[in-house]
Structure 1
């Protein structure tokens, strides 16, 4: 029997950000389909416990422009929406709440505050798509907002977009 990892999500008018919190995931597999289906599976620990989930996203997505980065503690997916618009929710099913799915408040921006700014992901390596499982190099992702923020005033912090940083060793897997 499989388990569900904790999944966090946030959106912009053109993208969905999905963070799968699963430290030390072995052989993670992420599949994104144009009609808006997202599936994930990975094994964890010496007992190789299976973690997996599938989501029917609210609308269609652009698979070619979507990216995934595998880190030591989590897997980050940036899913490009086919049509640039805000979704009222992430998944199609309205009545059933998925207990493992949560809003990522660190990345969340309200629709009226979305000035077209993307998160700064320049430090994340999405360069190698179509990797073999043996090529995966896990790297811990850090939230750059914590680095150097001690010297900023509250006014300077307000309105900043949080972003994810890694040391450049993380690699993307095909979505």
Structure 2
């Protein structure tokens, strides 16, 4: 096999994984989607992340992300959250600096990197999550999956329309209140008495 054909073969068997990224004030959240990779090579540095893994079928995912800004590799964490997904919580080195404009240093558009709007807070926006990725128990995956059940609601906690309390709601079956008698004016009393005399 010639050197040229060998290089072409290598390029055909390597692929970028699909990556989603979100941002909070103090950390970046990455989700890398790959298939059938149990033990990838992962190297996290202050300015970049390298991820590489090979499938049983032979396809190799290989990517290096040079970050927009610095992170703290010592306090950053990662874990496998499903058969095809790896999650990274990358702590920003300086959370007082402006929010990242993008994930990577290069302004070139990468089709395999997309924004995870469910975990994204922009500059000047308030973070409504009281417990984001940084607050999760990264050692308790079972607990995390239980929290994810029901799309953010505990299983069985979604309200049933048939179970809603009728109190405080308007229904057509409720009896109408008795109408109060309006007091007569002096003029109405005179006319009423005159009418009674005429009937006699």
The two structures have a TM-score, normalised by structure 1, of 0.68
Q: 1:89 to 1:145 in 2, by over 3 A?
A: farther
1:78 aligns with 2:89: yes
Tell me the distance in 2 between the aligned counterparts of 1:23 and 1:144: 22
Partner-residue secondary structure (3-state), 2:158: helix
Cα displacement string for residues 33-56 of structure 1 (whole angstroms, at most 9, x for unaligned residues): 12x111101112x32210011111
From 129, 138, 144, the counterpart of 1:124:
138
Tell me the distance in 2 between the aligned counterparts of 1:90 and 1:67: 17
Residue 145 of structure 1: how far off its partner (Å): 5.9
1:151 aligns with 2:164: no
Gaps of 5+ in 2: 1-10, 161-200
Moved runs in structure 1, 4+ residues, more than 4 A? none
Q: Which has the higher strand share?
A: 1
- In angstroms, what is the RMSD of aligned CA positions? 2.7
Gaps of 5+ in 1: 127-137, 153-175
Task: Compare relative contact order (CA 8 Å, sep 6+) and give the higher one, 1 or 2.
Answer: 1
Radius of gyration: which is bigger? Answer: 2
Q: Which residue of 2 aligns with 1:51?
A: 61
Residue 62 of structure 1: how far off its partner (Å): 0.5
